[in-house]
Chains A and B, each alone.
Chain A
Amino acid sequence: MRAKVWTFALRSLARQPGRAVLGILGVAAVGALLFDMLLLSRGLLVSFRALLDSAGFDVRVMAADAPAFARPRIADAETAAAEIRALPDVDEVASLRLGSAIVTGPDGGKHDIFFIGADAETRRRPWILLEGSDLGASDSGGPPALVVNRRLATALLLRPGSELTLRGDCTRGSATAAPPVRFRIAGFAAFPFDDPKAMTAAARLADFGRTCGLDEKSDADLFLVASREGRGPAAAVRAIRALRSDLHAFSNEEIVARFQQVGFSYFRQISAVLSTITLFFGFLLITVLLTVSVNQRFAEIAALRALGFTRRRVVLDVLAQAVLLVGAGGILSLPLGLALARWLESILHAMPEIPAAMHFFAFEPRALATHALLLALTAVLAALYPMRLVSRLPIAATLRSEMVT
């Protein structure tokens, strides 16, 4: 369309500023909701994938394909880890043991904490060190090292170098007879899957076993595996499955695909329903605005046609008005949508056990492209009926009727 068409459409809208502003605001409101629903439809998947990838491990190995609370442990973990480590497609394997522990705060109050035992020999760690030093392969005398998250450090007034006593509680409800173990805080770390209220600590596997009264070479809950560069996680998964058919290996891709099917698919469904409703709403709004506007301008349009404006030209004018309304509303909907997403995110993040680093609304360029495409389609569809009215307008009859009126 030429610049003249746009200018003319803009003038047509400016003649009724109240109506135009309301139209733009209406499109902005529905556009903001649509944008948020597009962010919501894949937000959890995108941030879950980012969390899985954050530690640098791209394959997870477990004893059974079952939820964590009902999953058996990998027996004789040290041997299994060594076998997997020896595979040519595997770069690194970290054994993880998960449990709980009880610590006493400075006020004498007891706190339940999430306790992780991890291989300290690996280059990659399932946490990100923020301050102090990481767990070493061994300690040079003194209490064993422990890394804790910020929340635990704040609650117990800890700093690197301070000491902390843990009483293990790692056998899923059964009491632990092991004596409490005194640890030295080596550093503070961010654990990707921590929820905002989680207090988490991690120690070497041997120290975890000692705290929980377990054999040093006992079972593991999970192996985190990093595939060798150039081979890829799919090859590593195939090799692990061929080596140990009793274990269940999944690449991050497979875990995300499964999460897409089961976990929080409710949000994808609701976003699909709400996106459809908002688009219909936007379509209705623009159709009504343009149809009424065209109805009121019949005489003017007929006069323009009589003066020499082609049918195509007046039809394009209606389309340009629709595009201007939806375009301006669509642009305005982006900051509105982002602000709304932050508000909705703060509401949804109150759900229990949602990692702090996980987001329900995650921005992706494809969401922006889909938003623009859907709004453009809405503008065109909404303009179809008024465009048809204009294209079939009988010039002489309309002018005569207007003169008589």
Chain B
Amino acid sequence: MSILSALFLFAAGAVPPPAPPPPDPPAILVSRQLLASEHLALGDVIALSGDAKGSRAREFRIAGVYEPVPDPGRLGMVPLEARLHLPDLVALIADPADPAASESVRSISVKLVSPAEASAFTRDLTARVPGLLLRELAASDDSDVTFVVLDRFHLAISLVTVIASSIFLLALMVMLVDERRDTVAILRLIGLRRRRIFIQVLGEGLVIALAGALFGVLLAVVLEGGFNRFFQWRYDTALVFVRVTPAIAARAVSVAVPLGILASVAASWSLLRRGAMALARR
């Protein structure tokens, strides 16, 4: 049968028109965590309801999966979320007895052409539409304060660690100097001045401190991935917990190197101030 004749038959009503396919359920996106926890898959049709009893449930098709924006303020809470088209959400949760329910939204996000004018925009809109609660996203809130406090806490812990490391370093340098008491005595006896030996001690301290600091930075870089992977697995989040930036590395080196030099000088001081004969136990 040619296409033409088929069309003719269809037009004449000899072939019944096919039944329209049932409309596809509306598409939604689900978070990766929800997909995993409920063992869902792309294309699955699921029922959602606006209340815990499951009344007025509607079917939706999973069109995609998304990774929720990591939020440090919600660390430890598994984001079991779904994204719906606004009309679908309104139809799902609006109270049928309330005609205004389908006309209201909880919040409206606004992106300004010029973000610098956010405060002026907020003032203007507040004056024009009284009763609206406006908040600049860039403005500081409680979660900012939390992270400032955590930053201070980490700084305090680092300070204690530096103190402990300094004591360790000092102990090491004292032992090193003790071991070399006889060598220093001979150097002094053959005519080397205190200043010359002091410079040598300083140079050694610098080399050891630099090597130690660089090794520490390298160790931090190596451990960075492991720490992040562990905590990302532990909290099921894409947040980055540890990041060794050049600025942080420079800060660590700038603290460690002077401390190392200071420790070597302090340890050698008792040796350098003694006379050559005393050093040689004579």
Contact = CB atoms under 8 A, between A and B. Distances in A.
Query: DSSP class of B's interface residues: helix, strand, loop or mixed?
Result: helix
Given A273-B227, A288-B175, A292-B179, 11 more contacts: A29-B160, A29-B167, A33-B157, A173-B133, A265-B76, A266-B76, A278-B164, A289-B171, A344-B156, A344-B157, A351-B146
Interface residues of B, number: 32
Given A64-B52, A296-B179, A352-B142, A26 B153 contact: no
A273 B242 CA distance: 13
Contacts of A288: 171-172, 175
A18 interface: yes
Query: DSSP class of A's interface residues: helix, strand, loop or mixed?
Result: helix
7 contacts: A19-B175, A22-B171, A29-B163, A265-B76, A274-B157, A285-B168, A343-B156
A330 to B, nearest CB: 14
B161 interface: yes
Interface in B170-201: 170-172, 174-175, 178-179
Interface in A25-63: 25-26, 29-30, 32-33
Contact of A350 (B149, B164, B270): B149
A281 B75 contact: no
A263 interface: yes
Contact of A19 (B142, B156, B165, B171): B171
Contacts of A3: none
Contacts of B168: 26, 281, 284-285
A278 B157 CA distance: 11
B24 to A, nearest CB: 31
B153 A340 contact: no
Given A18-B174, A33-B161, A348 B153 contact: yes
Interface string B138-174: 0000100110010011001100110111011011101
A183 to B, nearest CB: 27
A350 B145 contact: yes
B121 interface: no
A33 to B, nearest CB: 5
B149 A296 contact: no
The 3 A-B residue pairs with the shortest CB-CB distance, nearest first, are A29-B164, A22-B171, A352-B142
A263 B153 CA distance: 18
A292 B174 CA distance: 11
B234 interface: yes
A313 B52 CA distance: 73
Contacts of A175: 131
A22 B170 contact: yes
A137 to B, nearest CB: 35
Contacts of A30: 164
Nearest to B144: A352
Nearest to A348: B153
Contacts of A138: none
Contact of A22 (B163, B174, B179): B174
B178 A347 contact: no
Given A269-B234, A344-B156, A351-B149, A26 B171 contact: yes
B160 A33 contact: yes
Contacts of A350: 145, 149, 152
Contacts of B161: 33
Nearest to A292: B175
B160 A32 contact: yes
Contacts of A274: 157
Contacts of B131: 175
B144 to A, nearest CB: 10
A153 to B, nearest CB: 25
Contact of B149 (A19, A32, A64, A348): A348
B116 interface: no
A25 B160 contact: no
A289 B175 contact: yes
Interface string B209-242: 0000000000000000001000100100000000
Contacts of B52: 64
B1 interface: no
A284 B179 CA distance: 19
Interface string A8-33: 00000000101100110110011011
B14 interface: no
